[in-house]
Amino acid sequence: KGSRSEDSVLQVRINRKYAHSAPVWFALLEYLYTDSVRAHSACLRENASMASELIDLAHKLGLPRLICFCLELNPEIDRAAVAARCQMNLSQDRASTWGADVERLLPVDPESTSFGRPPIFGFTDVMLRVRPSEDEPEATQPGHLGAHKFMIATRCPYFHAQFAGTNWKDSRSVSANFSGDLRCCHVMLRYLYCGMDAKVESALNRDQSLALQVLVVANEYGLDNLQLWCEQVLIDNISNREDVLVILQELDLVHAPLLRCACIFFILSKTHPEEWTSYWPSLREELEATRLKWGFGPAIESLGDVLATDNGVPSAAGASPIAVAAAPTPSPTPLLRTASSDL
């Protein structure tokens, strides 16, 4: 049962049966917010009484995964007795339900083409103004997607900066423009709420044009992990020169050195120098300079004749650049594999 005081702090009243010491509640709150108890692991490991008290509270609240954490951290507690008392299967109940729990806050599904649905839990206090997807010509007017200010501002540097100051604790609903279209917004919101889960991976792998759009937006909004995933999806699906040229055009405004190296690698290894007479030397120089600047491994031996001469096509021209990079070769390690492992 909660009430809001004058200083906008939410005060929660609990039943007496849930009354426990402050350290126990702090550990519980850490688990609810982060799905872990790393900050309290030392206390739980050294204090069996606190661990037992947290187990008791977790059992009352129906949090079997937290009980498993306590048992793993403090071996003094009888695991069999706790499992019998709480009617638990320790091997099964340790599985995380974080994604499924947070999904109930999510107002959209990345597989959907609609403008969203009300979330199961939580009032959405941010309205994102989103343009329709290009594959829906009948939807010509921008729409709005609801989101939770605390979630997107905590998980995204762009929104954190936008809502900092007076807007951060303001309970009123606010509006914000979103750079991408509807499908892109669905994917980004899913990533902010649930992380890189199976639905986000499926949406990106199924549509490379969507992956490229998400990459541009992720770069703008400071979502480095999402951007790296999009880069890898695009690298794995480079197959023709037209796709490479489209990607390079977008990369003029995006900082994505690994993907840029992969595209230049493809051009140098799959095309004749005569097709790029005026650009061939500069492409070689840019590839080497980018590799050295960002530490993408040793000298690019996998390019073979491309780096040795201005004439002819490299011997591996018949294979894709990813296959060339992944093939077993004498030392040193090829460029793209080294870059991926380093990152």
pLDDT tens per residue, range 131-149 = 776 655 444 456 778 888 8
The pLDDT, as a whole number, for residue 121 is 53
Supply 263's token pair: 């595209």
**How many residues does the structure list for the chain?**
343
Q: Are 64 and 57 in contact (CB under 8 A)?
A: no
In the sheet that holds 143-147, the strands lie side by side as: 143-147, 126-131, 174-181
Cα–Cα distance for residue pair 63/126, rounded to 1 Å: 30
Q: How far is CA 44 from each of CA 67, 86, 308, rounded to the nearest angstrom?
A: 11, 19, 61
* pLDDT on residue 222: 92
- d(CA 314, CA 301) in angstroms, rounded, equals 11
| The token pair that represents 109 in the structure block | 């599904």
Per-residue burial over 5-43, b = 16 or more CB atoms within 10 Å of its CB, e = otherwise: eeeeeeeeeeeeeeebeeebbebbebbeeebebeebbeb
Secondary structure of the chain in HEC code, one letter for each residue: CEEECCCCCEEECCCHHHCCCHHHHHHHHHHHHHCCCHHHHHHHHHCHHHHHHHHHHHHHHCCHHHHHHHHHHCCCCCHHHHHHHHCCCHHHHCCCCHHHHHHCCCCCCCCCCCCCCCCCCCCCCEEEEEECCCCCCCCCCCEEEEECHHHHHHHCHHHHHHHCHHHCCCCCCEEEEEEEEHHHHHHHHHHHHHCCCHHHHHHHHHCHHHHHHHHHHHHHHCCHHHHHHHHHHHHHCCCCHHHHHHHHHHHCCCCCHHHHHHHHHHHHHHCCHHHHCCCHHHHHHHHHHHHHHHCCCCCCHHHCHHHHCCCCCCCCCCCCHHHHHHCCCCCCCCHHHHHHHHC
Choose the weakest-confidence range: 151-160, 227-236, 269-278.
269-278
Lowest-pLDDT range, 145-159, 282-296, 325-339? Answer: 325-339
Residue 278 binned pLDDT confidence (cut-offs 50, 70, 90): low
Distances (CA, A) of 257 to 252, 262, 282, 288: 11, 9, 16, 12
Is residue 343's pLDDT more than 90?
no
Q: What Cα–Cα distance (Å) separates residue 282 from each residue in 268, 273, 289, 300?
A: 11, 12, 10, 16
pTM: 0.68
**269: pLDDT strictly greater than 60:** yes
Confidence of residue 321 (pLDDT cuts 50, 70, 90): very low
Tokens of 136: 């829906």
Structure-model confidence comparison of residues 39 and 19, the more confident one: 39
Is residue 50 pLDDT above 90, yes or no? yes
